[in-house]
Structure 1
Amino acid sequence: FYLLPTRIWELALGAMLMLRKPPVPAGRLAVELIGLAGFALIAFGFVMISDSDPFPGYNALFPCIGTALLIYAGQDNADRPAPVATRVLRLAPLVWVGLISYSLYLVHWPINSFVHYLSLKTVGVPTIVAMTVASFALAAFSWKYIEQPFRQKRAYTAPLPIFAFSATAIALLCAGGLAGALGNGFPQRFPDFSTERIRVGDWRNGICFNENGTRIEDWNLADCTRTTGFATNVLLWGDSFAAHYVSGLEPNAQKIQANVIQYTYAGCPPDLTYFSYARPACTRFNERALSIIRDANIQAVILSGRWTDYQARGFDGLQKTIDRLREMGVKIYTVGQSPEFIADVQKIAFFVKREHAATTSWPMAMDPGINARVLPFTKGADFIDPLTYLCDSAGCSYADAKTNEFLYFDYGHFSSAGATLAISKYWPSFATSDKVAKANRQFTAAGAP
């Protein structure tokens, strides 16, 4: 599912070793070091590459070059002792895993996907063990009874039968996909399931909430001031998990008692050190926040983000951002991670209904200790943990127990009802706060309506 130009070099690396067969150094020590270097590069990639790193890309060099070095060190060992790396790879369990590896690659993901889809919960260790055993068993079966027979010269492995079978299979898959698309996914399979239009509110996409780096400059103070008429100016800065609060601002305006200014960009945390190849404009967006704070006479900043997305990188950048804001003399609030579920809340509600369970609560599909990991990097800011207000030991509410109105419109972004509830429960009030400096000039002088 990656285009050929970005991946062909990986295949070419192995092909070069097979076709060119570069000579192995004569010295035993050099061969041993090459093999160990291969192991080290693979181990480095396994430990250091995270889901927040771009891949494929230069990160693919570590496992690919490591594998190439192992193959290189292990060739032409007939007339001399095999290096340690080769002897390790010759161990029977590793050889067996290597034999079934392609079948294992094919079967493990469908098993994983169906288990998660059917449970709609984060699976526990026993289920993970069961999935692993099932994957290995099915892979071994596939290797022995499908993969191996096709490697042998038989009537059905001749080119004509192979191409005829492949063409038929492709045609059937295309027909099935087309039927599903035209039939809208065959909703009659679930006659008691119906989606409803959930109120989300206006995030002012393209101006106050950006998903495209080319429109960052379209942000302006007048359009993005979401509540007005108060003495204190507050900047709401973050990604979509900051933007999902805006539909609850107006209903809670008298509680907040501040002019709340929205400054949000999808996939871009409020972190001045953050850089992403997927969001290169994020750096420019975050740097602009500092000038907005100065020019709009901001007295308080609320930092909010989908912290589960960024924990692999660490939160040192968040602390550095808070330190920078403190130097500017503003009051800082950091809002922790709000609940995330394994699926869209409407699917969860349907699942609960089918199970005849009388609940509007469901387990989180994330690390419940995420906010405890963020907290140490918020020195100098007031930290707010949404999970303590929205969840209990049984789970988190995905709908209002009295009205059945959904509190989220997908797996974790607040609906209008959810945002209104969340702000009423844990957002700060700036009505009589001595910690927030009062504006030295009228808010309208900064350009707000």
Structure 2
Amino acid sequence: MTEPRLRQRPTKASHFLPHVQGLRAIAVMLVVLYHVWPGRLSGGYIGVDIFFVISGFLITGQLARELDRTGRIALPSFWAKRARRLLPAAITVLVFCALAVLFLLPLSSLVSEAKEILASTFYFENWQLALSSVDYLASHDATTVQHYWSLSLEEQFYIVWPLLLLGATWLGVKFFAARRWLPMVGIVVVVSVVSLAASAFYTATNPAEAYFVTWTRFWEFGAGAILALLPRLRPTGAWWPNLIGYAGLAMILAAAWFFDRDTPFPGYTALLPVIGTAMVITTDRAKHWWDVGSVLGGPPQRFVGDISYSLYLWHWPLIIVAPYIPGWGLSGWNRVALIAICFLLAWLTKKFIEDPVRTWKFFTLRRPRITYLGVIGLMAVSSLFVGAAWVVNNPRYEAEAAELQQIRADLPDCFGALAGPDCENPELAGAIIPSPGFGNADSPGHVECFVQLNESAVKACHFGSESPDAPRIALIGDSHAYQYIETLIALADERGWSLTTYLKGACPWTTAPVSGPSPAFTASCVDWRANLADELSAVAPYDVVFTAALAHTPYTVSAADHDEVLRDGFLEAWKQAAGAAIVTIVDNPDFVEDPNKCLRNAAPDACTELRADVLAQTDPLALAGAMAGATVLDFTDSYCDDTVCFSVVGGANVYRDQDHLTRTFALTLGPAIGDAIAARLP
């Protein structure tokens, strides 16, 4: 019995490729529209998953045919072709991003941009993002190269997949001579099933990291690979191709429309767009205008599909850079113009960079190692541009950090929260300290004292006086308590207090149920609070506990008795303080967007938010404080007037992101916080 041969891949002139190009067009437009108009197409991110399935189908078909024809895979040639196809355009955009860091982006972005551009250059950006996603204190402002995570994952697929197929071929030759293709299909299926199971589990337990890591996405490539290895799965006849194809399109569009940021993804929910994509790929019928192949394979669709790689590369950096270009931004028709610019740059990149380098005889007629030397050269170019941006900007970064440190050591008169109707400093007129370009970097130190999202062990840090007779103060809470750590440390040093901190991201000191980004986080918050209760019962009671919390924390409490339950949750937790006086604070306004972006191009008066939009209607922590007889500090009048809340107060830049205070502004609250604590000491 002869072994069945794999169906040959059609040439570009065939009737099959155009509808795949149309599918690429759908994928890239879903991603672009999702990013340009956030919220309008809430599930547009599934366009990346469409690309993964297409890549799995095309690459596996190519490799399988080579194995079928020659019994081997010319790995050096395969990898060289992939490099010539993908790297030139990718490095071009990375150079643009490095120039944006040098000339356009805020100084505070230097560290994260440099780190991620290098990660993207060497194709491990997905792992860089996975590692930073579990760091609550990491800057979560998107960089210009964040979208390179999917390209990094694809490159990892291109490295691993041929080796996997080669291993399967060896098994087939050695143990399945009559059916040597069976191990290949079997291994692809097993790897895909295991990856899908891992994706579902990891998405449920650690969704932020699961979105980026390699093994949670391999099954999507595997879905396309199975189609390439089993051509009999493709429907035949006059009606089946269209029925399956249009059903697949409906599944893709349904996912793009109904999915959102709260959808657990990837995991099992990714089955909808992945299976939908596979269904469309199998249907290449294009005999009539209503056939799926005809609808997807028209000239406009093929054009967009042809430039889809460059379009994907360019759209995201332009979105990130646009708000920092004076007079541009991302409002109104500017978004439409941005898309037009993306198309123009994508076409130019395709015509003058992608295609020429891919077909340049200098590389194609020489051994693959010549291409690899070119790869090294291109990566070196990207690294040199990043290095240049670092060399130029890092001295400015260090200088501004040093200047800010001097200001914090000796705060100007009537600065920040110290300002008021009876206290104004003319020297601060027009000042913004720290500058909008550096505001995002003005964060507290002592990150070792901060418990990360999925961790539950209590970290107790001690500052100030070591005298056994010194007043004992504790700082307890979430990141909105952590933002006062430098203020409390300065007070402890100044007033001879002994300070101990207990801090965990997104986990306020309450017994009320808190939801979070994953079940793992929710469990860690419950465990941390239990561990904290044990810790507080094991140490001598503190004299005063200062606590704060984000007022908009996502509690899992019904609307009917929301305020009372949350208030009682704080009251119950405070009993663990064993009689210590409680000093707490009404939460600061929570801006819709990071005001530093606005302040870069506009006056402070134009960078305000309506009071009703950014202040919590009721702060449960303040309600608890009033009932428990705690000292409740309320600085709302420092942040806001009767109508709006300010991003700059008394010359001080208030925010380091949309809801956390700059370290500098928090220090200006020190005198009032210190006096409130001192008044409660025995």
TM-score computed with the length of structure 2 as normaliser: 0.44
Structure 1: distance between partners of 2:667 and 2:384: 42
The match for 2:317 is 110
1:64 aligns with 2:309: no
Residue correspondences, number: 400
The match for 2:486 is 247
CA contact (8 A) 1:234 1:261 kept: yes
Closer, same or farther: CA 191–273 of 1 in aligned 2, 3 Å: closer
Q: CA deviation at 1:243?
A: 0.6
Instruction: Name which of 472, 477, 499 aligns with 1:237.
Output: 477
1:101 aligns with 2:308: yes
Closer, same or farther: CA 18–150 of 1 in aligned 2, 3 Å: farther
Percent identity, aligned pairs only?
19
Letter in 2 for 1:63: P
Instruction: Name which of 457, 460, 464 aligns with 1:216.
Output: 457
The match for 2:607 is 363
Structure 1: distance between partners of 2:235 and 2:634: 58
Closer, same or farther: CA 180–94 of 1 in aligned 2, 3 Å: closer
1:305 aligns with 2:550: yes
CA contact (8 A) 1:24 1:76 kept: no
Q: CA deviation at 1:134?
A: 0.7
Instruction: Name which of 541, 554, 566 aligns with 1:322.
Output: 566
Instruction: Name which of 490, 494, 503 aligns with 1:264.
Output: 503
Structure 1: distance between partners of 2:336 and 2:634: 33
Letter in 2 for 1:141: L
Letter in 2 for 1:237: G
1:24 aligns with 2:235: yes
CA RMSD of aligned residues (A): 5.8
1:167 aligns with 2:419: no
Structure 2: distance between partners of 1:53 and 1:95: 31
Structure 1: distance between partners of 2:634 and 2:617: 9
CA contact (8 A) 2:456 2:525 kept: no
Structure 1: distance between partners of 2:334 and 2:633: 34
CA contact (8 A) 2:328 2:334 kept: no
Q: CA deviation at 1:131?
A: 1.7
Closer, same or farther: CA 129–76 of 1 in aligned 2, 3 Å: closer
CA contact (8 A) 2:476 2:503 kept: yes
Q: CA deviation at 1:217?
A: 3.1
The match for 1:177 is 383
Closer, same or farther: CA 64–343 of 1 in aligned 2, 3 Å: farther
Letter in 1 for 2:668: L
Closer, same or farther: CA 110–242 of 1 in aligned 2, 3 Å: same
Letter in 2 for 1:242: A
CA contact (8 A) 1:362 1:396 kept: no
Q: Which stretch has the larger CA shift, 124-133 or 17-26? A: 17-26
Letter in 1 for 2:478: G
Closer, same or farther: CA 371–53 of 1 in aligned 2, 3 Å: farther
CA contact (8 A) 2:457 2:528 kept: yes
Instruction: Name which of 648, 657, 666 aligns with 1:397.
Output: 648
SS in 2 for 1:264: strand
Letter in 1 for 2:275: I
Structure 2: distance between partners of 1:172 and 1:413: 40
1:14 aligns with 2:14: no
The match for 2:194 is none
CA contact (8 A) 1:236 1:262 kept: yes
Letter in 1 for 2:647: C
Structure 2: distance between partners of 1:98 and 1:369: 45
Structure 2: distance between partners of 1:370 and 1:42: 33
1:276 aligns with 2:483: no
Letter in 2 for 1:265: K
Alignment of 1:282-301 (within 5 A): 282-288=525-531
Structure 2: distance between partners of 1:33 and 1:47: 21
Letter in 1 for 2:607: P
The match for 2:284 is 75
The match for 2:587 is 335
Structure 2: distance between partners of 1:164 and 1:9: 33
Closer, same or farther: CA 276–141 of 1 in aligned 2, 3 Å: same
Structure 2: distance between partners of 1:388 and 1:91: 61
Q: Which stretch has the larger CA shift, 139-148 or 331-340? A: 331-340
1:387-438 CA-partner distances (Å, limit 9, x unpaired): 764367695117x52xxx6656788754554114357789997999xxxxx9
Q: CA deviation at 1:150?
A: 6.3
CA contact (8 A) 1:338 1:412 kept: yes
SS in 2 for 1:185: helix
Q: Which stretch has the larger CA shift, 380-389 or 317-326? A: 380-389
CA contact (8 A) 2:315 2:342 kept: yes
Structure 2 residues without counterparts, runs of 5 or longer? 1-124, 127-152, 157-213, 409-441, 493-497, 575-581, 625-631
TM-score computed with the length of structure 1 as normaliser: 0.62
Structure 1: distance between partners of 2:393 and 2:447: 31
Structure 1: distance between partners of 2:328 and 2:290: 51
SS in 2 for 1:335: coil
CA contact (8 A) 1:44 1:62 kept: yes
Closer, same or farther: CA 369–168 of 1 in aligned 2, 3 Å: farther
Structure 1: distance between partners of 2:526 and 2:238: 50
